[in-house]
């Protein structure tokens, strides 16, 4: 029985950042002198993807330069003061089931969208042209759209391909760990961490967060995101958000039946009420039907081994040439 075809949809900049920080000391080409550790790890990822997982299609979603529609939406946040505990109510213990991922709460001052992210270092930016060169040699199309983020590109392509009657069995593996993309999970769509070879499907999402893909947006609106500067609700972390969503079904129903929420949680939900619809909109992935894309463009084809070897020689990636040789021999045998 022939296996279903699989598209690997790579979150471009997220993969580049992870590649750059995977090696803690700078590496340099012995030929050109340029810094190379990000390119090296990214090349290793591509070789692993092509040799170990043998994808049928690969495409990269890329953040376009400049502002996005979320930057403009973010300016609409109301000014919110720090909430104080009402008399007679004790503030509950912090929801610490994801203490390593802090959230921006409604009492904090709004600055700018994604203001919590660290600036990209110049050595990382200097390696991006080489990564683009590598993607070109591997024949991987890179898709971006002004005003949209890579996540929106991924959502657009995923929905389009899953709904395409010409490819009823196509599987989509999104190469990313971004929790915003969990809203795309379905029977045919998973999140895949190629470095750890772990995969998140609908069942794993429920096991980890206690919500369904359709509830991820409400979950993120309640918990907020300090990295993207999206405020959530004071005192409501992942565990409490999941409990509320399981009880009421959705953020809308929580707010409609807020009188049934007890004590401090109700007070904080009422305080956060003015900004929750906007938070929900910001974490909802956009779909743009105007993005041009043909699945056939992403089909994996024989690699130009000689040209890739030439690039590896320039960058000093001698060990990767052996992996490339094994891959091309494997492809020839197949």
- Tell me the C-alpha distance between 151 and 18, whole Å: 16
Q: Which residue has the tokens 């092509």?
A: 50
Residue 111 near residue 222 (C-beta atoms within 8 A): no
Residue 284 near residue 148 (C-beta atoms within 8 A): no
SS3 137: helix
Report the pLDDT value the prediction gives residue 13, as an integer from 0 to 100: 95
Q: Where in the chain is the domain with CATH 1.10.150.20?
A: 85-116+211-283
Contacts (Cβ under 8 Å, ≥6 apart) of 3: none
Tokens linked to 222: 């309640």
- Which of 68, 64, 298, 46 shows the shortest CA–CA distance to 160? 298
Residue 150 near residue 144 (C-beta atoms within 8 A): yes
- Which of 332, 14, 37 shows the shortest CA–CA distance to 179? 14
Find the length of the chain: 334
SS3 36: coil
Select the CATH number that applies to the domain covering 85-116+211-283 from these four: 3.40.1110.10, 3.30.360.10, 3.40.50.150, 1.10.150.20: 1.10.150.20
> Residue 172: phi, psi to the nearest 5?
-120, 120
- Tell me the C-alpha distance between 222 and 241, whole Å: 6
List the chain pLDDT tens, one digit each, 334 residues.
Answer: 678 999 999 999 999 999 999 998 999 999 999 999 999 999 999 999 999 999 999 999 999 998 888 888 887 776 533 333 333 333 444 454 443 344 444 444 456 666 556 667 899 999 999 999 999 999 999 999 999 999 999 999 999 999 999 999 999 999 999 999 999 999 999 999 999 999 999 999 999 999 999 999 999 999 998 778 888 999 999 999 999 999 999 999 999 999 999 888 999 999 998 889 999 999 999 999 999 999 999 999 999 999 999 999 999 999 999 999 989 877 766 6
pTM of the model: 0.88
> pLDDT tens, 53-74?
999 999 999 999 988 888 888 8
Q: Which CATH class for the 6-68+119-206+287-325 domain?
A: alpha beta
Residue 222 near residue 241 (C-beta atoms within 8 A): yes
What own/partner pairs with CB < 8 Å and gap ≥ 24 does 302-305 have? 302/328, 302/331, 303/50, 303/137, 303/138, 303/139, 303/327, 303/328, 303/331, 304/137
Q: Where in the chain is the domain with CATH 3.40.50.1010?
A: 6-68+119-206+287-325
- Tell me the C-alpha distance between 49 and 74, whole Å: 37
Tokens linked to 265: 């949680």
């Amino acid at each position: 029985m022939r296996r279903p075809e699989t598209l690997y949809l790579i979150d471009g900049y997220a993969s580049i950042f992870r590649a750059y920080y995977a090696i803690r000391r700078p590496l340099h080409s012995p030929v050109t002198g340029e810094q190379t550790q990000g390119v090296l790890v990214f090349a290793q990822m591509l070789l692993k993807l092509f040799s170990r997982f043998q994808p049928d299609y690969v495409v990269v979603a890329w953040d376009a330069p400049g502002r996005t529609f979320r930057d403009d939406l973010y300016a609409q946040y109301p000014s919110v003061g720090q909430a104080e505990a009402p008399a007679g109510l004790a503030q509950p213990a912090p929801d610490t089931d994801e203490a390593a991922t802090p959230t921006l709460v409604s009492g904090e001052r709004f600055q700018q969208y994604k203001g919590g992210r660290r600036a990209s270092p110049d050595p990382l930016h200097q390696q991006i042209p080489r990564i683009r060169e590598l993607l070109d040699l591997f024949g991987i199309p890179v898709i971006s759209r002004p005003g949209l983020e890579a996540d929106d590109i991924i959502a657009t392509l995923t929905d389009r391909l899953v709904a395409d009657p010409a490819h009823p069995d196509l599987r989509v593996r999104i190469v990313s760990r971004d929790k915003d993309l969990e809203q795309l999970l379905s029977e045919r769509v998973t999140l895949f961490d190629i470095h750890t070879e772990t995969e998140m499907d609908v069942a794993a999402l429920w096991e980890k967060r206690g919500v369904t893909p359709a509830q991820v947006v409400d979950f993120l609106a309640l918990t907020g995101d300090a990295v993207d500067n999206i405020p959530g609700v004071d005192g409501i972390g992942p565990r409490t958000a999941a409990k509320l969503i399981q009880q009421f079904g959705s953020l809308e129903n929580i707010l409609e039946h807020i009188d049934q929420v007890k004590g401090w949680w109700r007070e904080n939900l009422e305080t956060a009420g003015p900004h929750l619809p906007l938070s929900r909109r910001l974490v909802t992935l956009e779909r743009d039907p105007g993005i041009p894309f043909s699945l056939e463009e992403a089909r994996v084809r024989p690699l130009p081994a000689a040209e890739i070897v030439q690039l590896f020689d320039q960058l000093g990636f001698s060990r990767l040439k052996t992996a490339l040789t094994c891959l091309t021999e494997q492809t020839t045998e197949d």
